[in-house]
Amino acid sequence: MGLDDRKLEVLRAIVEDYVATQEPVGSKALVERHQLGVSPATVRNDMAVLEDEGYIRQPHTSAGRVPTDRGYRLFVDRLSRVKPLSPAERRAIERFLVGAVDLDDVVHRTVRLLAQLTRQVAVVQYPSLARSKVRHLELVPISTTRLMVVMIADTGRVEQRLVELPGPLPADDVTDLRRLVNEKLVGSPLSETPPLVQALVDESAPHLRPAMATLSSVLLETLVERHEERIALAGTANLTRGGLLDFQGSLRPILEALEEEVVLLKLIGEAEPSTTRVLIGDENEIDNLRAASVVSTGYGPGSTIVGGLGVLGPTRMDYPGTIATVRAVARYVGDLLAQN
């Protein structure tokens, strides 16, 4: 059980070399490339122990060693040194994010930036409605019996829904409705609106009640209950880097998983403040992604979290670098949102 410092050092060296070369690494190559101060034979003994403990394995008898998921886990938890971003990366981030005019724009730029910097698949969740507050509700009459509801959230998200009214509604009534919903709802988090929305109907003047009932049910249904989460994705072409070695030969399951918004949300949407979550291979709950790793974190203005972002790549990935990049991007995006 005892893994002394040198054995850990050997593991670190194996992970680093394997990530860099993508080839099983042998004892001889290891002592040549790292100053371990011992002979290959000694390293071999250490390797045998590491293999017994399940941190590395041999693809075949006459090959070098490869880290297991467990090995990567140990590496990430205890062995990786934080890799500071290069100034070039820093500049890239800044350059990429200035000039964004729009929430859409911010999210799009972010996801492309992440994909480009990490050279992996990037995923960015739009600010969650569940964590947004209502900034304004606008009612726009489309016809006498149709209303478009536009909700503007403090996170910058704008959602619209078409409401089919039970009957024609005069313009003055629309104004009244608008005033009422805004008075009641502006400033409150969407997650806390249901009772307020309910109260709205009860407190409305009788002639407004049918319209308000329809309106409130639409609000409840589409904005609160089934919270409409949105996701942006980029860099799928990066899956093809490293030939077919990663992902055991088939991109299929990965691509399938990436098509499911629900899956993506599960991956990156459950973010804790200021933590970076790393899921390695088997640790992943989604079967299709057992051959992949995910690095994700939350982002938001200041220390609040409004959404998640992250990247997905082969288990054989540069964890320290990826973690650093994901964190940095999340921080920049948070700052950007804070300015807004």
Reading the block at residue 191, the tokens are: 């997650």
Q: Is 259 in the site for its own copies (CB under 8 A)?
A: yes
Q: 26 is in the binding site of which of its own copies, DNA, none (Cβ under 5 to 8 A by kind)? A: DNA
Q: Residue 148: name the closest of 190, 111, 178 by CA.
A: 178
CB nearer to its own copies: give 51 or 261.
261
Q: CB–CB of 53/3 below 8 Å?
A: yes
CB nearer to its own copies: give 10 or 219.
219
What residues from 7 to 26 belong to the interface with DNA (CB under 7 A)? 24-26
Q: Is 266 in the site for its own copies (CB under 8 A)?
A: no
Q: Is 142 in the site for its own copies (CB under 8 A)?
A: yes
Q: Is 189 in the site for DNA (CB under 7 A)?
A: no
What residues from 15 to 44 belong to the interface with its own copies (CB under 8 A)? none
What residues from 28 to 87 belong to the interface with DNA (CB under 7 A)? 28-29, 37-42, 44-45, 47-48, 51, 58, 60-65
How many CA atoms does the CB half-sphere of 201 hold within 13 Å?
16
- Residues in contact with DNA, total (CB under 7 A)? 25
What residues from 166 to 225 belong to the interface with its own copies (CB under 8 A)? 222
Q: 6 is in the binding site of which of its own copies, DNA, none (Cβ under 5 to 8 A by kind)? A: DNA
CB nearer to DNA: give 49 or 196.
49
The stretch among 78-86, 137-145, 207-215, 279-287 that binds its own copies (CB under 8 A) is 137-145
- Residues in contact with its own copies, total (CB under 8 A)? 28
Q: Is 262 in the site for its own copies (CB under 8 A)?
A: no
At its nearest, how many Å lie between its own copies and the CB of residue 50?
A: 35
At its nearest, how many Å lie between DNA and the CB of residue 71?
A: 14
Reading the block at residue 23, the tokens are: 């080839």
Q: Is 152 in the site for its own copies (CB under 8 A)?
A: yes
* Contacting positions for its own copies (CB under 8 A): 101-102, 135-136, 138, 140, 142, 148, 150, 152, 158, 160-162, 222, 234-237, 239-240, 250-252, 255-256, 258-259
* Contacting positions for DNA (CB under 7 A): 6, 24-29, 37-42, 44-45, 47-48, 51, 58, 60-65
